[in-house]
């Protein structure tokens, strides 16, 4: 989809310079102990299988803005920044550089999101295949589009709807919000470890 957009603009505006900004670029400062998966090294060395992270353009901006709001040099701050929405992630940013982030090879890893599961046991794929004859594609689709707040609540992926329903006693909405908050709190602790200290939670 992104390449199609680039090609369309190249065709429509051939005289203009085109620049691609990758959401993963900000996270290229992560140390190897943060981005490597504990799988055989050849998958990384030959195929680049590693944690890349996303929302990098947002994190870069927010880190700089946090410094402005705090009246501190953003290149001397230890920040844990939570990017919360239908797609959610969290990052440890130390002295303006990403130290770790919750999204991985794909946006599926990490926090519970609107329709994405976030972290799960990878053996779920074989369990669902063996017990429900679900293909890898079906499971991947379920984890990306039918899970998260929507899957837990059975109601919605929108926190406004879930908050209203929880006030009315909807058990699924209550559970979805509790799981979301609990997983976020666990990741805040983890990202504080990655920074080594914490000046601000953003």
Q: What is the pLDDT of residues 136-154, one digit of tens each?
A: 999 999 999 999 999 999 9
Q: Is 121 a catalytic residue?
A: no
- 3-class secondary-structure state, position 73: coil
- Cβ atoms 129, 77 nearer than 8 A: no
Helices and strands, number each (H, E), in the chain: 9, 4
Q: CA of 81: how far to CAs of 89, 166, 178, in Å?
A: 9, 27, 20
> Whole-model pTM?
0.92
Q: Assign 19 a pLDDT band (cuts: 50, 70, 90).
A: confident
The closest alpha carbon to 185, from 161, 170, 201, belongs to: 201
- Cβ atoms 27, 90 nearer than 8 A: no
Q: What is the pLDDT of residues 62-75, one digit of tens each?
A: 999 999 999 999 99
| Structure tokens, 164 | 């209203």
E strands, 28-129, are: 78-83, 89-94, 97-101
Q: Assign 23 a pLDDT band (cuts: 50, 70, 90).
A: very high
**CATH numbers and ranges of domains, the chain:** 1-201 (3.30.420.40)
Residue among 23, 119, 158, 199 flagged as catalytic: 23
| Structure tokens, 182 | 């609990």
Q: CA of 22: how far to CAs of 19, 44, 68, in Å?
A: 10, 20, 24
């Amino acid at each position: 989809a992104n390449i199609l957009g680039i090609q369309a603009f190249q065709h429509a505006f051939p005289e203009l310079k085109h620049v691609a900004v990758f959401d993963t670029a900000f996270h290229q400062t992560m140390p190897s102990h943060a981005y490597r998966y504990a799988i055989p090294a050849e998958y990384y060395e030959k195929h680049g299988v590693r944690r890349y992270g996303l929302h990098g353009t947002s994190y870069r901006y927010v880190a700089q803005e946090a410094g402005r709001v705090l009246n501190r040099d953003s290149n001397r701050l230890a920040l844990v920044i939570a990017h919360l929405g239908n797609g959610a992630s969290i990052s440890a940013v130390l002295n303006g550089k990403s130290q770790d982030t919750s999204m991985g090879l794909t946006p599926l890893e990490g926090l519970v999101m609107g329709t994405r599961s976030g972290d799960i046991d990878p053996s779920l794929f074989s369990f669902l295949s063996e017990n429900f004859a679900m293909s890898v594609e079906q499971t991947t689709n379920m984890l990306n589009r039918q899970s998260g707040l929507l899957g837990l609540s059975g109601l919605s992926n929108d926190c406004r709807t879930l908050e209203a329903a929880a006030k009315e006693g909807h058990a699924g909405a209550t559970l979805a919000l509790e799981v979301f908050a609990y997983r976020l709190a666990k990741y805040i602790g983890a990202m504080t470890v990655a920074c080594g200290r914490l000046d601000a939670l953003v």
